[in-house]
Amino acid sequence: MSTSSPPTGPLHRRGLFGTNAADRAFRGTTLTFGVSVIALICLLGFELARSSQPALRQSGWSFLVSSKWDPVHNAFGVLFAIYGTVVTSLLALAIAVPIGLGAALFLAELSPRWLRQPLSFLIELLAAVPSIVYGLWGVFVLVPAIRPLETWLQAHFGFVPLFRGEPYGIGVLAAALVLSVMVLPYITAVSREVIQAVPASQREAAYALGATRWETIRGPVLRSARSGIVGAIILALGRAVGETMAVTMVIGNRAEIPTSLFSPAYTLASLIANEFAEATGNLHISALVGAALILLLLTIAINALARLLIWRVTSGARVTA
Proportion of the chain above pLDDT 70, given as a percent: 91
Q: What is the pLDDT of residue 6?
A: 53
pLDDT above 60 for 13: no
pLDDT, tens only, 26-73 = 889 999 999 999 999 999 999 999 999 999 998 888 899 888 898 888
Return d(Cα 211, Cα 39) in angstroms, integer: 51
Return d(Cα 80, Cα 281) in angstroms, integer: 22
Give the number of other Cβ atoms within 10 Å of residue 218's Cβ: 14
pLDDT, tens only, 243-258 = 889 999 999 988 889 8
What is the dihedral sign for C-alpha 200, 202, 207, 208?
A: positive
Pick the CATH number of 53-320 from 1.10.3720.10, 1.20.1250.20, 2.60.120.10, 2.30.30.40: 1.10.3720.10
* Cα dihedral 260, 264, 269, 275 in deg (nearest 10): -150
Q: What radius of gyration do the chain's Cα atoms show?
A: 26
pLDDT, tens only, 213-238 = 888 888 888 888 888 888 888 889 88
Classified as helix, coil or strand, 209 is coil
Higher pLDDT, 197 or 7: 197
